[in-house]
Amino acid sequence: MGKPTRPARPTRRQKEEMKAWKLKPNTWLVVLDTDLEMALVSKSGLKKRVIRRGA
């Protein structure tokens, strides 16, 4: 296992995708972004969510 990546602010494309999932982009950070999924963590660090793509 590699070391965990640092959460980053979402890009415009990621923000649009979050809005489509009814999430507020200003409260979420992106941990992982692949072709199949995007892993998010809340800025407070208490919630985690995975958005699946192309399902």
Q: What is the pLDDT of residues 1-55, one digit of tens each?
A: 567 778 999 999 999 999 999 999 999 999 999 999 999 999 998 899 999 987 6
Look at residue 22 in the predicted model and tell me its pLDDT: 95
Look at residue 9 in the predicted model and tell me its pLDDT: 95
pTM for the whole structure:
0.84
Please name the helix (run of DSSP H) or strand (run of DSSP E) that holds residue 13, with its range, or none.
helix 12-20
Beta bridge partners of 30: 8, 40
Look at residue 55 in the predicted model and tell me its pLDDT: 60
**Long-range contacts, stretch 37-41, CB < 8 angstroms, 24+ apart:** 38/14, 41/7
**Long-range contacts, stretch 22-27, CB < 8 angstroms, 24+ apart:** 23/49
Look at residue 5 in the predicted model and tell me its pLDDT: 77
